[in-house]
Protein backbone atom coordinates (compact mmCIF):
# COMPACT_ATOMS: atom_id res chain seq x y z
CA UNK A 1 0.00 0.00 0.00
CA UNK A 2 1.40 3.38 -1.02
CA UNK A 3 0.38 6.39 1.05
CA UNK A 4 1.90 8.91 3.41
CA UNK A 5 1.96 8.05 7.10
CA UNK A 6 -1.28 8.90 8.85
CA UNK A 7 -2.65 8.26 12.34
CA UNK A 8 -6.35 7.77 11.68
CA UNK A 9 -9.16 9.23 13.75
CA UNK A 10 -12.46 7.51 14.51
CA UNK A 11 -15.63 9.06 15.98
CA UNK A 12 -15.19 9.89 19.63
CA UNK A 13 -18.42 8.46 21.04
CA UNK A 14 -21.04 5.90 20.00
CA UNK A 15 -24.49 5.26 21.44
CA UNK A 16 -25.92 2.06 19.95
CA UNK A 17 -29.25 0.30 20.36
CA UNK A 18 -32.99 0.68 20.52
CA UNK A 19 -34.12 3.82 22.31
CA UNK A 20 -30.77 5.63 22.23
CA UNK A 21 -32.37 8.51 20.31
CA UNK A 22 -34.27 9.34 23.50
CA UNK A 23 -30.98 10.49 25.06
CA UNK A 24 -30.09 13.10 22.44
CA UNK A 25 -30.99 15.95 24.80
CA UNK A 26 -28.54 14.69 27.42
CA UNK A 27 -25.72 14.59 24.88
CA UNK A 28 -26.47 18.11 23.68
CA UNK A 29 -26.67 19.55 27.21
CA UNK A 30 -23.18 18.24 27.99
CA UNK A 31 -21.74 20.52 25.30
CA UNK A 32 -23.54 23.75 26.23
CA UNK A 33 -21.69 26.60 27.93
CA UNK A 34 -22.81 30.06 29.09
CA UNK A 35 -21.40 31.54 25.88
CA UNK A 36 -22.53 28.78 23.55
CA UNK A 37 -25.91 27.38 24.49
CA UNK A 38 -27.82 26.63 21.30
CA UNK A 39 -28.01 23.87 18.69
CA UNK A 40 -28.40 23.57 14.93
CA UNK A 41 -30.47 20.63 13.74
CA UNK A 42 -30.00 19.65 10.09
CA UNK A 43 -32.77 17.12 9.43
CA UNK A 44 -33.74 15.24 6.29
CA UNK A 45 -36.86 16.83 4.77
CA UNK A 46 -38.55 13.41 4.94
CA UNK A 47 -39.25 14.17 8.61
CA UNK A 48 -40.72 17.62 7.99
CA UNK A 49 -44.28 16.36 8.45
CA UNK A 50 -43.48 13.45 10.78
CA UNK A 51 -44.77 15.01 13.99
CA UNK A 52 -44.16 11.92 16.11
CA UNK A 53 -40.43 12.02 15.35
CA UNK A 54 -40.13 15.81 15.42
CA UNK A 55 -41.73 15.96 18.85
CA UNK A 56 -38.95 13.73 20.18
CA UNK A 57 -36.22 16.17 19.10
CA UNK A 58 -35.03 18.19 22.14
CA UNK A 59 -35.35 21.61 20.50
CA UNK A 60 -35.37 24.80 22.55
CA UNK A 61 -36.58 28.25 21.48
CA UNK A 62 -32.98 29.30 20.80
CA UNK A 63 -32.25 26.47 18.41
CA UNK A 64 -32.22 26.52 14.62
CA UNK A 65 -33.81 23.74 12.54
CA UNK A 66 -32.85 23.38 8.88
CA UNK A 67 -34.66 20.77 6.80
CA UNK A 68 -32.36 19.26 4.17
CA UNK A 69 -33.74 18.40 0.75
CA UNK A 70 -32.11 15.03 0.10
CA UNK A 71 -33.50 14.76 -3.42
CA UNK A 72 -30.17 15.99 -4.79
CA UNK A 73 -26.58 15.33 -3.81
CA UNK A 74 -25.01 17.73 -1.24
CA UNK A 75 -23.72 20.88 -2.94
CA UNK A 76 -21.01 23.32 -1.96
CA UNK A 77 -23.24 26.30 -2.76
CA UNK A 78 -25.81 25.12 -0.19
CA UNK A 79 -23.13 24.46 2.43
CA UNK A 80 -22.15 28.11 2.03
CA UNK A 81 -25.79 29.18 2.30
CA UNK A 82 -26.39 27.18 5.48
CA UNK A 83 -23.14 28.48 6.99
CA UNK A 84 -24.25 32.09 6.38
CA UNK A 85 -27.68 31.34 7.84
CA UNK A 86 -26.13 29.93 11.02
CA UNK A 87 -23.70 32.81 11.47
CA UNK A 88 -26.53 35.33 11.09
CA UNK A 89 -28.86 33.50 13.48
CA UNK A 90 -27.14 34.26 16.80
CA UNK A 91 -24.23 36.41 17.94
CA UNK A 92 -22.52 33.32 19.38
CA UNK A 93 -21.58 30.07 17.66
CA UNK A 94 -23.74 27.00 18.26
CA UNK A 95 -22.59 24.47 20.81
CA UNK A 96 -23.71 21.48 18.76
CA UNK A 97 -24.51 20.59 15.15
CA UNK A 98 -26.90 17.64 14.75
CA UNK A 99 -27.19 15.87 11.40
CA UNK A 100 -30.16 13.53 11.21
CA UNK A 101 -31.06 11.53 8.12
CA UNK A 102 -29.14 9.70 5.43
CA UNK A 103 -25.73 10.43 4.01
CA UNK A 104 -26.97 13.70 2.49
CA UNK A 105 -28.12 15.28 5.76
CA UNK A 106 -25.13 13.97 7.68
CA UNK A 107 -22.63 15.22 5.09
CA UNK A 108 -24.29 18.64 5.11
CA UNK A 109 -24.00 18.75 8.91
CA UNK A 110 -20.36 17.66 8.84
CA UNK A 111 -19.39 20.14 6.11
CA UNK A 112 -21.42 23.07 7.42
CA UNK A 113 -20.08 22.59 10.94
CA UNK A 114 -16.59 22.97 9.51
CA UNK A 115 -17.41 25.99 7.37
CA UNK A 116 -18.77 27.88 10.39
CA UNK A 117 -15.21 28.03 11.72
CA UNK A 118 -13.25 28.17 8.44
CA UNK A 119 -13.34 31.17 6.10
CA UNK A 120 -14.16 31.25 2.40
CA UNK A 121 -16.03 29.01 -0.02
CA UNK A 122 -16.57 25.32 0.74
CA UNK A 123 -15.54 24.40 -2.81
CA UNK A 124 -12.00 25.50 -1.94
CA UNK A 125 -11.86 22.81 0.74
CA UNK A 126 -12.77 19.87 -1.52
CA UNK A 127 -9.74 17.64 -1.09
CA UNK A 128 -7.52 16.19 1.60
CA UNK A 129 -6.50 18.09 4.75
CA UNK A 130 -7.41 21.57 3.50
CA UNK A 131 -9.48 22.43 6.60
CA UNK A 132 -7.40 24.28 9.19
CA UNK A 133 -9.80 24.80 12.11
CA UNK A 134 -11.84 22.29 14.07
CA UNK A 135 -15.57 22.71 13.47
CA UNK A 136 -18.67 22.71 15.65
CA UNK A 137 -19.18 19.63 17.83
CA UNK A 138 -21.20 17.33 15.57
CA UNK A 139 -23.64 14.55 16.43
CA UNK A 140 -24.83 12.36 13.56
CA UNK A 141 -27.99 10.25 13.68
CA UNK A 142 -28.41 7.93 10.69
CA UNK A 143 -32.02 7.16 9.76
CA UNK A 144 -31.02 5.01 6.79
CA UNK A 145 -28.00 2.77 6.76
CA UNK A 146 -25.22 1.81 4.37
CA UNK A 147 -23.57 5.05 3.29
CA UNK A 148 -21.01 4.99 6.10
CA UNK A 149 -21.22 8.80 6.26
CA UNK A 150 -21.80 8.60 10.00
CA UNK A 151 -18.25 7.32 10.61
CA UNK A 152 -16.46 8.64 7.53
CA UNK A 153 -13.74 11.29 7.49
CA UNK A 154 -15.28 12.62 4.25
CA UNK A 155 -18.21 14.94 3.58
CA UNK A 156 -18.93 14.31 -0.09
CA UNK A 157 -19.98 17.46 -1.99
CA UNK A 158 -20.76 18.38 -5.58
CA UNK A 159 -19.14 21.68 -6.49
CA UNK A 160 -19.25 23.77 -9.64
CA UNK A 161 -16.47 21.72 -11.23
CA UNK A 162 -16.22 18.42 -9.40
CA UNK A 163 -17.73 16.01 -6.93
CA UNK A 164 -15.18 15.49 -4.18
CA UNK A 165 -15.24 15.31 -0.43
CA UNK A 166 -13.97 17.61 2.26
CA UNK A 167 -11.69 15.05 3.85
CA UNK A 168 -9.74 15.49 7.06
CA UNK A 169 -9.63 14.40 10.69
CA UNK A 170 -12.02 17.21 11.65
CA UNK A 171 -14.75 15.91 9.30
CA UNK A 172 -15.45 12.85 11.42
CA UNK A 173 -18.47 13.32 13.73
CA UNK A 174 -17.75 13.70 17.41
CA UNK A 175 -20.68 11.54 18.44
CA UNK A 176 -23.12 9.14 16.78
CA UNK A 177 -26.50 7.80 17.84
CA UNK A 178 -27.35 4.44 16.27
CA UNK A 179 -31.01 3.70 16.94
CA UNK A 180 -32.45 1.03 14.59
CA UNK A 181 -36.01 2.09 15.44
CA UNK A 182 -35.41 5.21 13.31
CA UNK A 183 -35.02 3.01 10.21
CA UNK A 184 -38.47 1.46 10.40
CA UNK A 185 -40.07 3.63 7.69
CA UNK A 186 -37.30 3.34 5.07
CA UNK A 187 -38.79 1.96 1.82
CA UNK A 188 -37.40 -1.40 0.70
CA UNK A 189 -35.92 0.03 -2.50
CA UNK A 190 -34.05 2.83 -0.71
CA UNK A 191 -32.85 0.35 1.89
CA UNK A 192 -31.43 -1.83 -0.89
CA UNK A 193 -29.64 1.01 -2.67
CA UNK A 194 -27.92 2.30 0.46
CA UNK A 195 -27.11 -1.24 1.57
CA UNK A 196 -25.48 -1.87 -1.80
CA UNK A 197 -23.51 1.36 -1.46
CA UNK A 198 -21.98 -0.28 1.61
CA UNK A 199 -21.42 -3.59 -0.18
CA UNK A 200 -19.83 -1.93 -3.21
CA UNK A 201 -17.37 0.28 -1.37
CA UNK A 202 -16.28 -2.77 0.62
CA UNK A 203 -15.71 -4.73 -2.61
CA UNK A 204 -13.70 -1.84 -4.04
CA UNK A 205 -11.69 -1.54 -0.85
CA UNK A 206 -10.92 -5.27 -0.58
CA UNK A 207 -9.88 -5.49 -4.24
CA UNK A 208 -7.79 -2.32 -4.17
CA UNK A 209 -4.06 -1.77 -3.86
CA UNK A 210 -4.40 0.51 -0.84
CA UNK A 211 -5.99 -2.03 1.49
CA UNK A 212 -4.29 -3.15 4.71
CA UNK A 213 -5.20 -5.77 7.30
CA UNK A 214 -7.31 -3.33 9.32
CA UNK A 215 -9.38 -2.24 6.32
CA UNK A 216 -9.65 -5.83 5.09
CA UNK A 217 -11.08 -6.99 8.42
CA UNK A 218 -13.66 -4.20 8.52
CA UNK A 219 -14.70 -4.76 4.89
CA UNK A 220 -14.96 -8.54 5.13
CA UNK A 221 -17.11 -8.52 8.25
CA UNK A 222 -19.23 -5.67 6.92
CA UNK A 223 -20.00 -7.59 3.74
CA UNK A 224 -20.64 -10.84 5.61
CA UNK A 225 -23.39 -9.00 7.48
CA UNK A 226 -24.69 -7.19 4.39
CA UNK A 227 -24.99 -10.41 2.39
CA UNK A 228 -26.71 -12.13 5.30
CA UNK A 229 -29.28 -9.32 5.55
CA UNK A 230 -30.05 -9.09 1.83
CA UNK A 231 -29.90 -12.80 1.02
CA UNK A 232 -32.44 -13.68 3.70
CA UNK A 233 -36.02 -12.62 4.35
CA UNK A 234 -35.85 -11.46 7.95
CA UNK A 235 -39.18 -11.73 9.73
CA UNK A 236 -37.98 -9.09 12.19
CA UNK A 237 -37.08 -5.99 10.16
CA UNK A 238 -35.70 -4.33 13.29
CA UNK A 239 -33.15 -7.12 13.73
CA UNK A 240 -32.04 -6.76 10.11
CA UNK A 241 -31.78 -2.98 10.39
CA UNK A 242 -29.72 -3.24 13.57
CA UNK A 243 -27.31 -5.60 11.78
CA UNK A 244 -27.03 -3.23 8.82
CA UNK A 245 -26.14 -0.40 11.19
CA UNK A 246 -23.18 -2.49 12.33
CA UNK A 247 -22.28 -3.28 8.71
CA UNK A 248 -22.38 0.42 7.85
CA UNK A 249 -20.05 1.31 10.73
CA UNK A 250 -17.56 -1.29 9.59
CA UNK A 251 -17.95 -0.38 5.93
CA UNK A 252 -17.30 3.28 6.63
CA UNK A 253 -14.17 2.32 8.56
CA UNK A 254 -13.00 0.04 5.76
CA UNK A 255 -12.71 3.01 3.40
CA UNK A 256 -10.81 4.97 6.05
CA UNK A 257 -8.14 2.26 5.95
CA UNK A 258 -8.55 1.64 2.21
CA UNK A 259 -10.16 3.43 -0.71
CA UNK A 260 -13.01 3.11 -3.19
CA UNK A 261 -12.43 2.34 -6.86
CA UNK A 262 -13.93 2.07 -10.32
CA UNK A 263 -17.60 2.19 -9.31
CA UNK A 264 -17.37 5.32 -7.19
CA UNK A 265 -15.22 7.11 -9.75
CA UNK A 266 -17.85 6.51 -12.42
CA UNK A 267 -20.81 7.25 -10.16
CA UNK A 268 -19.29 10.67 -9.41
CA UNK A 269 -19.46 11.36 -13.16
CA UNK A 270 -23.16 10.45 -13.21
CA UNK A 271 -23.80 12.64 -10.16
CA UNK A 272 -22.13 15.75 -11.56
CA UNK A 273 -23.66 15.55 -15.05
CA UNK A 274 -27.05 13.92 -14.41
CA UNK A 275 -27.57 14.51 -10.69
CA UNK A 276 -27.90 10.78 -10.04
CA UNK A 277 -28.21 10.04 -6.34
CA UNK A 278 -25.23 8.24 -4.83
CA UNK A 279 -26.68 4.87 -3.79
CA UNK A 280 -28.71 4.46 -6.99
CA UNK A 281 -25.78 5.67 -9.08
CA UNK A 282 -23.45 3.10 -7.58
CA UNK A 283 -25.91 0.31 -8.40
CA UNK A 284 -26.32 1.57 -11.98
CA UNK A 285 -22.56 1.62 -12.42
CA UNK A 286 -21.81 -1.66 -10.64
CA UNK A 287 -24.35 -3.34 -12.88
CA UNK A 288 -21.77 -2.84 -15.67
CA UNK A 289 -18.61 -3.82 -13.78
CA UNK A 290 -18.54 -7.62 -13.95
CA UNK A 291 -15.17 -7.39 -15.75
CA UNK A 292 -13.55 -5.52 -12.87
CA UNK A 293 -15.18 -7.12 -9.82
CA UNK A 294 -16.49 -10.54 -10.99
CA UNK A 295 -17.07 -12.12 -7.57
CA UNK A 296 -18.62 -9.01 -6.08
CA UNK A 297 -20.79 -8.57 -9.17
CA UNK A 298 -22.12 -12.14 -8.87
CA UNK A 299 -23.10 -11.64 -5.23
CA UNK A 300 -24.59 -8.22 -6.03
CA UNK A 301 -26.86 -9.74 -8.69
CA UNK A 302 -27.92 -12.51 -6.31
CA UNK A 303 -28.93 -9.95 -3.67
CA UNK A 304 -30.78 -7.89 -6.27
CA UNK A 305 -32.74 -10.96 -7.38
CA UNK A 306 -33.55 -11.92 -3.79
CA UNK A 307 -34.82 -8.41 -2.98
CA UNK A 308 -36.67 -7.97 -6.32
CA UNK A 309 -35.36 -4.44 -6.84
CA UNK A 310 -35.17 -2.99 -10.34
CA UNK A 311 -31.97 -1.10 -11.11
CA UNK A 312 -32.58 1.86 -13.45
CA UNK A 313 -31.29 1.34 -16.98
CA UNK A 314 -30.68 3.48 -20.06
CA UNK A 315 -30.32 6.66 -18.00
CA UNK A 316 -27.59 7.92 -20.35
CA UNK A 317 -29.47 7.09 -23.54
CA UNK A 318 -30.28 10.75 -24.26
CA UNK A 319 -26.87 12.17 -23.35
CA UNK A 320 -24.84 14.20 -25.83
CA UNK A 321 -21.20 13.51 -26.63
CA UNK A 322 -20.33 16.63 -24.66
CA UNK A 323 -22.09 15.20 -21.60
CA UNK A 324 -20.31 11.87 -21.98
CA UNK A 325 -17.00 13.72 -22.26
CA UNK A 326 -17.79 15.65 -19.08
CA UNK A 327 -18.64 12.42 -17.22
CA UNK A 328 -15.34 10.95 -18.34
CA UNK A 329 -13.33 13.99 -17.26
CA UNK A 330 -15.02 14.15 -13.84
CA UNK A 331 -14.26 10.46 -13.27
CA UNK A 332 -10.75 10.58 -14.73
CA UNK A 333 -9.77 13.36 -12.34
CA UNK A 334 -10.32 11.08 -9.32
CA UNK A 335 -6.79 9.74 -9.47
CA UNK A 336 -6.78 8.29 -5.96
CA UNK A 337 -9.69 5.99 -6.82
CA UNK A 338 -8.07 4.75 -10.04
CA UNK A 339 -4.76 4.35 -8.25
CA UNK A 340 -6.44 2.14 -5.67
CA UNK A 341 -8.25 0.13 -8.36
CA UNK A 342 -5.30 -0.48 -10.70
CA UNK A 343 -2.12 0.75 -9.00
CA UNK A 344 0.17 3.72 -9.74
CA UNK A 345 0.29 2.88 -13.46
CA UNK A 346 -3.52 2.97 -13.72
CA UNK A 347 -3.43 5.09 -16.89
CA UNK A 348 -2.01 2.05 -18.66
CA UNK A 349 -4.81 -0.18 -17.35
CA UNK A 350 -7.88 1.80 -18.42
CA UNK A 351 -8.55 4.47 -21.04
CA UNK A 352 -10.96 7.36 -21.42
CA UNK A 353 -12.52 5.53 -24.36
CA UNK A 354 -13.22 2.49 -22.16
CA UNK A 355 -14.77 4.72 -19.50
CA UNK A 356 -16.99 6.44 -22.06
CA UNK A 357 -18.15 3.06 -23.35
CA UNK A 358 -19.12 2.09 -19.81
CA UNK A 359 -21.18 5.26 -19.42
CA UNK A 360 -22.94 4.59 -22.73
CA UNK A 361 -24.08 1.19 -21.43
CA UNK A 362 -25.72 2.64 -18.31
* Residue 17: pLDDT over 90: yes
Q: What is the dotted CATH code of the domain comprising 188-361? A: 1.20.1090.10
**pLDDT of 50 over the 50 cut:** yes
Average pLDDT of every residue of the chain = 94
Task: For residue 1, name the pLDDT band (cuts at 50, 70, 90).
Answer: very low
Q: 137 has which bridge partners? A: 96
- Read off the pLDDT of each residue in 118-123 and give the average, rounded to a whole number: 97
Cα 330 → chain centroid = 19
Could you give the 3-state DSSP secondary structure of residue 166? Answer: strand
Instruction: Give pLDDT, residue 4.
Output: 60
Question: What confidence tens digit (pLDDT) does each residue in 216-228 have?
Answer: 999 999 999 999 9
Fold match flag (13-183 vs 188-361):
no
Question: Residue 5: its pLDDT value, please?
Answer: 64
3-class secondary-structure state, position 75: strand
Identify the residue with better confidence: 198 or 258. Answer: 198
pLDDT at 137 exceeding the cut of 90: yes
- Check pLDDT > 50 for residue 46: yes
How far is Cα of residue 112 from the mean position of the Cα atoms in its chain? 15
What is the domain partition of the chain in residue ranges?
13-183, 188-361
Query: Helix, strand, or coil here: 282?
Result: helix
Biggest CA-to-CA distance, the chain = 60
* pLDDT band at 2; cut points 50, 70, 90: very low
The string of pLDDT tens digits covering residues 230-249 is 999 888 999 999 999 999 99
Quote the CA–CA distance of 38 and 24 in Å, as a whole number.
14
How does pLDDT run across 308-355, given as a tens digit for each residue? 999 999 999 999 999 999 999 999 999 999 999 999 999 999 999 999
Give the pairing of strands 163-167 and 154-158: antiparallel
What pLDDT is recorded for position 55?
Answer: 95
Bridge partners, 155 (sequence order): 166
All residues at 6 or more sequence positions from 7 whose CB lies less than 8 Å from its CB, including other chains: none
Average of per-residue pLDDT across 162-187: 93
Residue-wise pLDDT for 169-180, tens only, equals 999 999 999 999
Q: pTM of the prediction? A: 0.90
| pLDDT band, very low/low/confident/very high, at 162 (cuts 50, 70, 90) | confident
Q: 13-183: what CATH class?
A: alpha beta
Amino acid sequence: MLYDFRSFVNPGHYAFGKGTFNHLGELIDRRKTPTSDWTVFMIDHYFQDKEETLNRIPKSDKDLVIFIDSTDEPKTVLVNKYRDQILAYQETLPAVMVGMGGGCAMDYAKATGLMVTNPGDSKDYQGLDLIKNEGIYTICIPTITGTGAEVSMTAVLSGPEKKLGIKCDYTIPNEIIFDPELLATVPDEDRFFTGMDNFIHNVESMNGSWINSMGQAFAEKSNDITVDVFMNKYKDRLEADEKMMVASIMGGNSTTYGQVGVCHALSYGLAVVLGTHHGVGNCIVFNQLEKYYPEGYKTFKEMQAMQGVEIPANITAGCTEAQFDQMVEVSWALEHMWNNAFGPDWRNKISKEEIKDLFKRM
